[in-house]
Amino acid sequence: MMKAYLSRRYRLSASHRLHTEQFSPEQNRAVYGKCNHPHGHGHNYTVEVMVSGPVDPVTGMVCNLSDLDGFMQQRIVNRFDHTNLNLDPSFATLVPTTENLCIEIYKVINAELARVKLEKVRVEETSNNFFEYAG
């Protein structure tokens, strides 16, 4: 059976402070630099999701874009957009780095997406920094 790939982008804005209780204030500043600012800072993230599956012989699609968009809006964008990532329960014991955000988004999508296979999630933090996770 042949499979095709579909990638889709979503945008969200969120803030975070990179900080761990396992480090002293000095260690946090040394490791995280300006990202350890006590009031945090924000990013306009681009989240890219790649799924794969067989092309449906009737619709000609890997999956319905409206269904994928609805799922992503409900489960990812609504959850993280315009929030402080440090306050999300997933980051109660994790530093909310973009690496960890990418993994969390992958876990949520992979646990609930039906009919297609989640290949990877890519989160762009800045024009220079992006992170990918493929399970």
Catalytic residue positions?
35, 82, 125
d(CA 117, CA 23): 38
Tell me how far apart the alpha carbons of residues 75 and 84 are, in angstroms, rounded to a whole number: 16
* C-alpha dihedral (60, 10, 88, 90), degrees to nearest 10: 50
Structure tokens at 120: 């990877």
SS3 for 129? coil
- Round to whole Å and give the CA distance between 42 and 108: 22
